[in-house]
Amino acid sequence: MKKLMIVLAVLAFGLAACNKDEKNGEAKVEFRLIDAPELYDEVNVHIIGLELIRPGGPVSLAVNPGVYNLLDFTNGNDTIIATDFIPAGKLNQIRLILGEDSNTIVKNGVVHPLSTPSAQQSGLKVNVNHDLVEDMEYVFWIDFDASKSIVETGAGAFILKPVLRVFLDGVFGTLSGNVSPVLQPTAVSAITGSDTISTFIDPSGGFYIMGLDAGTYEVLITPPAPANDTIISNVDIVNGQNTDLGTVQLN
């Protein structure tokens, strides 16, 4: 779900040399949020901080704090949550810090609080393990997977146990296409081995999945009944490129 990312500036795939904003001995980093979708009306998370974990100690970035509805950031939509210059060198992890009291979901029009376990209130760590080169610009996407992050208890309460992944612009592939007819909700999943990354089609029937490692995938399209599932095998994903499936006809 929303890697909280809404594209405020479009950057080409790959690493770009910094221009007028470059600073000697530093690299520019940008973090964007996106989301893997889920069948809720809204999934609202309160982001208050972002730290970079490095060999010399943590570095706090100035974030755009606020409550973000993750469902705004699917199918290629994203939003920038932090941009800064930091010294070149190793980036081990990031820590995303959430507020405690403003996380909610909306299900069937009803607002429910999302409780956050105390162990996660100090921040959510995600491995990055990337070397930042001086005078280069890096765009990282934080994929906040709402479908795996919300646990509904038997008492009707909801617990937020965030599942995140981070990937770097230019070192992953993407998958896009359309389905016809447009039946809501239709899920589209890219599957390789034990890994599955999914999205739902947008109102026009389009879909766009980011952050796919290079390889061969099976694509599963799951529409509501009475339509049948569609499986597309041997779909090749190439880093830095988009694989367009065109229009897939549902049966």
DSSP secondary structure, 61-84, as one string: E-B--EEEEGGGS-TT--EEEEEE
Judge whether 119 lies within some domain: yes
Query: Coil, strand or helix: which one is 120?
Result: helix
Q: Are 79 and 115 within one domain?
A: yes
At 230, list the tokens. 């569609």
Provide the pairing of β-strand 215-222 with 230-237. Answer: antiparallel
Judge whether 54 lies within some domain: yes
pLDDT at 37: 54
At 158, list the tokens. 């909801």
Q: Left (φ > 0), alpha (ψ -120 to 50) or beta: where does 14 sit? A: left
Q: Where are the alpha helices (DSSP H) in the chain?
A: 146-149
Q: Are 29 and 94 within one domain?
A: yes
End residue of a domain, out of 168, 198, 214: 168
Nearest of 86, 79, 90, 201 to residue 141 by alpha carbon: 79
Q: Are 61 and 123 within one domain?
A: yes
Q: Are 134 and 195 within one domain?
A: no
Residue span of the structural domain in which 214 resides: 173-249
Q: Are 162 and 180 within one domain?
A: no
pLDDT at 206: 96
Judge whether 17 lies within some domain: no
Q: Are 89 and 189 within one domain?
A: no
Judge whether 57 lies within some domain: yes
Judge whether 16 lies within some domain: no
- For 95-118, how does the pLDDT look when each residue is reduced to its tens digit (9 = 90+)? 999 888 889 999 889 999 988 876
C-alpha 213/C-alpha 60 separation (Å) is: 29
At 96, list the tokens. 């995303």
End residue of a domain, out of 112, 143, 168: 168
- Mean pLDDT per block of 10 residues along the chain (251 residues) reads 26 31 68 69 90 92 90 84 90 91 89 78 84 89 83 85 84 94 92 89 92 95 93 96 97 88
pLDDT at 23: 55
Q: Are 164 and 182 within one domain?
A: no
- Count of structural domains, the chain: 2
At 95, list the tokens. 């820590």
End residue of a domain, out of 168, 196, 215: 168
At 237, list the tokens. 């994903």
pTM of the model: 0.75
Q: Are 123 and 183 within one domain?
A: no
Q: Are 88 and 131 within one domain?
A: yes
CB-CB neighbours of 200 under 10 Å:
19
Q: Are 129 and 240 within one domain?
A: no
Judge whether 18 lies within some domain: no
Q: Which amino acid is at 44?
A: N
Q: Are 66 and 183 within one domain?
A: no
Judge whether 145 lies within some domain: yes
C-alpha 174/C-alpha 235 separation (Å) is: 11
Q: Are 37 and 144 within one domain?
A: yes
Integer CA distances (angstroms), 142 to 6, 44, 60, 165, in order: 11, 15, 16, 6
Nearest of 179, 175, 145 to residue 160 by alpha carbon: 145
Judge whether 177 lies within some domain: yes
CATH number of the structural domain spanning residue 192: 2.60.40.10
